[in-house]
Amino acid sequence: MSEPRERLRIAVQKSGRLSESSIDLLAKCGLKFRTSRDKLFCYGESLPIDLLLVRDDDIPGLIDQGVCELGIVGRNVAREYRAGSEPSSVTWNEVCDLGFGPCRLSIAIPNEEEFTGAQQLAGKRIATSYPNLLREYLLKQGVEASVVVLNGAVEIAPKLGTAEYICDLVSSGSTLQANQLKEVAVMLQSEAILIGTRQEFVDARGPLLDTLLRRLEGILRVRESKLLMFKSARQLLPSLLRHLPDAELPQLSRIDGADDALGVQVVCHQAITWPLLEELKRMGASQILVLPVEKMLA
């Protein structure tokens, strides 16, 4: 383990599907960085929080080794690492979902075959880059199969004759279609998550961690949130508010020259759709305005 530091370190994917979104999320939290010449380290300028730019597969291990305290990684990578490790050696928890990079780890078979259930996997060769998760799945299903470990191009294994079936990440499904495969069983729903060490910091990093997590919560909370503003007769307000999705308590204001009317401002944390706005209009709301919410601090 490394010596205690006053600065926090976060490991993020150097390149790949989560890299840009991870750095963008941290920027929304007010973090600014200066990148080293080798583009492997980013020094935090706005707060003493630094970034390590690494392979995503390395992130869970770097936390276990004490090299960094936090990491942004796909749930599929975190669970694969945990499944292949001794429980006592894993020093991190899944802190929160981050809402980007959705995909799923699935079993896929050739299009021409019918799938009758997990027992069909028995005795088959299944190619995957996630052998630990696949073995866990097969064990839970009570099925014995041969796990063929590949580090890339898993989808072409049936064509090459190295496996009959595959277990791989699926997003849009276009790669499976291009290789005449179909998804038949979802093993794991994945997205980007924040993982972090279990230790509680008693040094200068404790307040830093609290600040970062508070800002992250504020960003994630308002990702789908909107500020809804409208005018309403006072007696109509209770029924209008009942139609609002996941709404905060409204802020009400009197309107000059209209004793029975109120101005309403309310933050809604789910999608505001056109049908909803049309329904509010039909129920008596007027001058309806929807605005984006960039940040929110409770």
CATH no. for residue 240? 3.30.70.120
**Same-domain status, 53 and 181:** no
298 assigned to some structural domain: no
Give the pLDDT of residue 294: 80
pLDDT in single tens digits along all 298 residues of the chain: 445 578 999 999 999 889 999 999 999 999 999 998 888 999 999 999 999 999 999 999 999 999 999 999 999 999 999 999 999 999 999 999 998 999 999 999 999 999 999 999 999 999 999 999 999 999 999 999 999 999 988 999 999 999 999 999 999 899 999 999 999 999 999 999 999 987 777 677 888 889 999 999 888 888 778 999 999 999 999 999 999 988 999 999 998 877 789 999 999 988 889 999 999 999 999 999 999 888 777 6
3 assigned to some structural domain: no
**Same-domain status, 285 and 247:** yes
2 assigned to some structural domain: no
1 assigned to some structural domain: no
**Same-domain status, 210 and 255:** no
Last-in-domain residue among 190, 207, 234: 190
Relative orientation angle of helices 19-28 and 205-221, to the nearest 10 degrees: 100
Side-chain half-sphere exposure of 146, counting CA atoms within 13 A = 7
- The pTM (predicted TM-score) of the whole model is 0.81
**Same-domain status, 181 and 201:** no
113 assigned to some structural domain: yes
pLDDT tens profile 34-43: 998 888 999 9
What is the number of structural domains in the chain? 3
| Nearest-angstrom CA–CA distance, 111 and 181 | 5
Relative orientation angle of helices 131-141 and 75-83, to the nearest 10 degrees: 70
**Same-domain status, 109 and 174:** yes
CATH no. for residue 163? 3.40.190.10
| Nearest-angstrom CA–CA distance, 63 and 21 | 21
**Same-domain status, 112 and 170:** yes
**Same-domain status, 14 and 116:** no
* Residue 245: domain span: 226-292
**Same-domain status, 126 and 163:** yes
How close are the terminal C-alpha atoms of the chain, in Å?
Answer: 36
| Nearest-angstrom CA–CA distance, 225 and 28 | 15
**Same-domain status, 87 and 204:** yes
**Same-domain status, 159 and 198:** no
Q: Are 152 and 160 in contact (CB under 8 A)?
A: no
297 assigned to some structural domain: no
**Same-domain status, 95 and 233:** no
**Same-domain status, 42 and 90:** yes
| Nearest-angstrom CA–CA distance, 229 and 218 | 21
